[in-house]
Amino acid sequence: MITDAPTLVPRQREDERWVEREDEDALFRQLRLTVRQSLAAEDAATPAATLDPATAWQRLTDVGAWEFALPIDVDGLDLGQAVLAMVCEETGAARGAVPLLGTLTACELLTASPAGAGRDTALLDGIRSGEIAIAVPGRLPGPDGTAPTGLVRTVRRGTSTVSGIAGPFSVGVTPGALLLFLNTGPDTGSGATAAGPEPCVALLPLPAEGVTLRSLTDHGGGPCATAEFADAPLPSPRVLLEGEAARTALRRIGPRVAVQQAALLTGLTAAALTAVVSRIRERRQFGQPLIKHQAPRLRVAGLLARLDAVRWAVGDAARDLDAGRLTPGEAAGLTALAAETALDVTRDAVHLHGASGLARDAVVAGCYRRVAWEALRCGRPTALWQTVARTP
């Protein structure tokens, strides 16, 4: 019996949810290649070779990474969240220990604050030129827009101070300012009462009175530090947003920071797996390379499949952000998935390296040690899954 050939109905572009943007957009693919090449170490033949953070920062500046995040009306390019997520992923894959997320987030907050970008023109010029790096000490805002705990702003008779300890965070490039997400108590001098702590977003230039950056031991993941605030004065001009304006800003940037952090973790995971693949190709056992043995091949294949799944999810979430359809619950789930995958995959990568994977200068050891604290910056994965359960 002869039947007619089935009619093929072309899929609508909006339905193609799982197509990587670089495969459908030649310009995006070229931009990724440009960023990747700019972050490549000079000695690419050495697996552990990486750019020092200062050079990586300068390369990102030369590529124009900060202009990617700035709107057009302040001489930026405003290329969207998919491009910013790509920059974060490539920086993670290059193991660049630079204050990337803090600078990108500050660019958005400075241009979106009620005072406008005109108040901070000199600061924006410093960011654009690469002279000023902005770091977020400790925890990042939650995907659901909650301000992280740890730092407290106290107001006494109209004078603000900040107390607490926050960290770790990357300081491969010395930050010129700290972007602070705070909870503010009631003004104790006025006798006013409040139902609860009010969120506050501030940008504090360094050096500052009462602020100490303490370097932590670098175990291979890159230079990092904690920030200690001992009743550090916070002048009113340094407060970008507070109260309801801060809540609105946190709800807006929370999902964006979550996607960017997930992209950074994905890049670190990719760096560890690249080192693993190189290892099993070179290491010989029973007269042949490890890659010829079924057990390590299957194990690495499983790790690569998990990494690909997260990469697809990050790219999809970034496009959803640009389309305005990513919910806080979806952002929390993405960050939890990326954190759990990064922790599991980098730990297995250390095991696949054997004893050499524990060496401080081993790529997989450095990736695992950095992932150990980067994976918690948006909150513990268990807490993020709880956010998914109670958030639309």
Per-residue pLDDT at 195: 53
What does DSSP assign to residue 320? H
DSSP symbols for 57-94: HHHHHHHTHHHHHS-GGGT-----HHHHHHHHHHHHHT
Task: Say yes or no to pLDDT of 365 above 80.
Answer: yes
Looking at residue 238, its amino acid is R
What pLDDT is recorded for position 43? 65
Q: How many CB atoms lie within 10 A of CB 271?
A: 24
As a whole number, the mean pLDDT across the chain is: 85
Model confidence at 182: pLDDT above 80: yes
User: How confident is residue 355, by pLDDT bands cut at 50, 70 and 90?
Assistant: low
Is 196's pLDDT higher than 70?
A: no
Least Cα distance to 201 among 112, 320, 74, 324 occurs for 112
373 contacts 223 by C-beta, under 8 angstroms: no
User: To 10 degrees, what angle do helices 244-282 and 294-323 make?
Assistant: 160
Whether the Cβ atoms of residue 213 and residue 182 lie closer than 8 Å to each other: no
Nearest by Cα to 295 from 274, 280, 309:
280
Cα–Cα distances in angstroms (integers) from residue 179 to residues 94, 97, 134, 173, 359, in the given order: 24, 17, 7, 15, 34
Angle subtended at Cα 271 by Cα 266 and Cα 275, rounded to the nearest 5 degrees = 145
Q: How many percent of the chain have pLDDT more than 70?
A: 84
pLDDT range class, residue 246, cuts 50, 70, 90? very high
In the prediction, which pLDDT does 167 show? 86
Residues 78-112: tens digit of each pLDDT:
999 999 999 999 999 999 999 999 999 999 898 87
Residue 191 has pLDDT above 70, yes or no: no
**Across 296-316, average pLDDT:** 92
Angle between helices 244-282 and 328-353 (to 10 degrees): 30
pLDDT at site 361: 73
30 torsion bin: left (phi>0), alpha (psi -120 to 50), beta (else): alpha
Per-residue pLDDT of 112-158, as tens digits, reads 766 554 567 888 889 999 999 999 999 999 999 998 888 899 998 88
What number is the average pLDDT over the span 294-303? 86
SS3 label, residue 270: helix
> Which residue has tokens 């730092």?
151
Query: What's the whole-number mean pLDDT along residues 361-377?
Result: 91
**Distance of alpha carbon 271 from alpha carbon 259, whole angstroms:** 19
Q: What is the pLDDT of residues 14-41, one digit of tens each?
A: 433 334 444 567 888 889 999 999 998 8
pLDDT of residue 1: 42
362 band by pLDDT with thresholds 50, 70 and 90:
confident
Share of the chain above pLDDT 90, in %: 59
Confidence label for 265 from pLDDT (cuts 50, 70 and 90):
very high
Q: Tell me the CB-side half-sphere exposure of residue 278, using CA atoms within 13 A.
A: 15
The runs of H, that is alpha helices, within 242-354 are: 244-282, 294-323, 328-353
User: What are the CA-CA distances from residue 344 to residues 25, 221, 341 (Å)?
Assistant: 32, 17, 5
pLDDT digit string, tens, across residues 45-90: 555 668 899 999 999 999 999 999 888 888 889 999 999 999 999 9
Angle at 364 between CA 363 and CA 365, to 5 degrees: 95
Q: Token match 């995958």: residue?
A: 341
pLDDT for residue 41? 81
Q: Please give the Cα distance from 312 to 294 (Å, whole number).
A: 27
